[in-house]
Amino acid sequence: MIFKGGLNTLKNKFLQATFILMVGGLITKILGFLIRVIYTRMVGSDAINLYSLVMPTYSLLLTIATLSLPIVISKLISEKKIKSMRIITSATAITMILNLLVIIIIYFTKDFIATTLLNDERCGVLLLAMALTFPFVSISSILKGYFYGKQKMIPHTISNIIEQIVRIALIFLVIPLLINKGIVYAVMGLILISIASELSSIITFLLFLPKKFRICKQDLKPDIKTAKEILNISIPTVSGRLVGNIGFFFEPILLTNILLFSGYSMEFILNEYGAYNAYTISLLAMPSFFIAAISSSLLPEISRFYYHQNLVMVKKRIKQALILSFLVGIFFTSFIYIFRETLLQTLYNTTKGSEYIEVLAPFFVLFYLEGPLQSVLQAIGKAKATMYITMIAVISKILAIAILSLCHIGMYSLVIAEIIDIFIIVILCVKTIRKELY
């Protein structure tokens, strides 16, 4: 009865959390676009292409280093089975050990990855710079997960805004000094600026911790039982993301080598792949902050209702989230499709990538359903299903890239493979949820 009586409060929390994250996401996205525009115009397309080349590797390694902690901690704290402080300390111990291992691995393999896999020796020093950001991102992720689980979204929103403001200020101060030293220094500068911005985020989160936050000496020590609970959820969750990032990691490697074999020049590949990632995907993913807000608010809500076996509210929240996500997707993809060249010119001072938007946009609306669907699967304890779905999608995408790249259609091989990937993930997620709940 107590739980049923609290439905109205929880509903208000869900709507309030989603609204706060949407507003904060909008501000953060605007600042993020401003950063990209400023940086792009400062350093030029060559630096952007180099940055795009190392990003898949960075995403893969960051996924390993952070263990999808915001999702895991949010779920555990929302269920209130374990003390919050014990969750935070155990998660910190796990992720710091992982961070150290990943940094050591990168140090000894950076040259091999740069020259053999990415075909550009300049990437070696950039990978090492990226590794140094991992501990700061990890700690920020842990604190973010805590506030998600408590359904307190204002700290996350404010920390994101402060983080972006710090980044903009440092770009103006640091990047002009590094441009004269070369492209590699300019890109490395942007990467290392993340350390300062993440530190500002961590400090903001700490300031928002409740004054009555109870800290016992016993809770400050990592707890083996809590660590196992975290790993039981995080390993399947991170495995799904890891599979996706492995696919993202091999994407430029496979694409580059097959297109080179097919007769395309390295200059063409770098320019087109850079345009696809930096302009096409960035523009189409512009409303993703709306979807991130819905997904982040949905996960603790579904976790709580599912834990108490209130399937009526679980289904209701799923329906609300999917309808809202679909409407957001329809509106933004239509707008971007119609005004693609104007938007590209205004934001990036180029129209590169416009032709890829024309093909991808009509299908990209389904991409905005992926986040909420995967959040539902994680909330109901089906993280392993998410991993298998991602694995099927990644294998299909890689095979599609490999086959289509031999058909002499250039970067359209990647565009078509992206469409296939989106369809597979959405269809299999819906099928799994229906099997579990309906």
Q: Which of 244, 250, 249, 254 is nearest to 413 (CA)?
A: 254
As a three-state string, the secondary structure of the chain is: CHHHHCHHHHHHHHHHHHHHHHHHHHHHHHHHHHHHHHHHHHHCHHHHHHHHHHHHHHHHHHHHHHCCHHHHHHHHHHHCCCCHHHHHHHHHHHHHHHHHHHHHHHHHHHHHHHHHHCCCCCHHHHHHHHHHHHHHHHHHHHHHHHHHHCCCCHHHHHHHHHHHHHHHHHHHHHHHHHHCCCHHHHHHHHHHHHHHHHHHHHHHHHHCCCCCCCCCHHHHCCCHHHHHHHHHHHHHHHHHHHHHHHHHHHHHHHHHHHHHHCCCCHHHHHHHHHHHHHHHHHHHCCCHHHHHHHHHHHHHHHHHHHHCCCHHHHHHHHHHHHHHHHHHHHHHHHHHHHCHHHHHHHHHCCCCCHHHHHHHHHHHCCHHHHHHHHHHHHHCCCHHHHHHHHHHHHHHHHHHHHHHHHHCCCCHHHHHHHHHHHHHHHHHHHHHHHHHHC
Instruction: Please give the single-letter amino acid code of residue 294.
Output: I
How many degrees, rounded to 5, is the angle at CA 410 between CA 408 and CA 414? Answer: 115
Which class for 161: exposed (0-12), middle (13-18), buried (19 or more C-beta within 10 A)?
A: middle
The pLDDT of residue 11 is 47
The token pair at 424 is 């597979």
d(CA 375, CA 372): 5
Task: Find out whether 174 and 39 touch, Cβ atoms under 8 Å.
Answer: no
The token pair at 437 is 């709940």
Residue 201: CB atoms within 10 Å: 27
The pLDDT of residue 144 is 87
Find tokens 């009865």 and name the residue: 1
The pLDDT of residue 54 is 84
Instruction: Please give the single-letter amino acid code of residue 89.
Output: T
Which class for 262: exposed (0-12), middle (13-18), buried (19 or more C-beta within 10 A)?
A: middle
Task: Find out whether 127 and 106 touch, Cβ atoms under 8 Å.
Answer: yes
Task: Find out whether 87 and 76 touch, Cβ atoms under 8 Å.
Answer: yes
Per-residue pLDDT of the chain in tens (438 residues, 90 and over written 9): 333 444 444 445 677 777 888 888 888 878 887 887 788 788 777 787 888 788 878 887 887 888 777 778 888 887 766 677 888 888 888 889 889 998 999 999 988 888 887 878 888 888 999 999 999 999 998 898 888 888 788 888 899 899 999 999 998 888 888 888 888 888 898 889 989 999 999 999 988 887 665 555 555 666 777 788 788 777 877 777 778 777 877 888 889 889 999 889 988 888 898 889 888 998 998 888 888 888 888 888 888 888 778 889 899 889 988 998 999 899 999 999 999 999 999 878 889 999 999 999 999 999 999 999 999 998 888 878 888 999 999 999 999 999 999 998 989 999 999 999 999 999 999 999 999 887
How many degrees, rounded to 5, is the angle at CA 244 between CA 189 and CA 183? Answer: 20
The token pair at 134 is 């991992």
Q: What's the alpha-carbon Rg for the chain, to the nearest Å?
A: 22
Task: Find out whether 53 and 252 touch, Cβ atoms under 8 Å.
Answer: yes
d(CA 101, CA 97): 6
Task: Find out whether 370 and 421 touch, Cβ atoms under 8 Å.
Answer: no
Find tokens 């700690």 and name the residue: 139
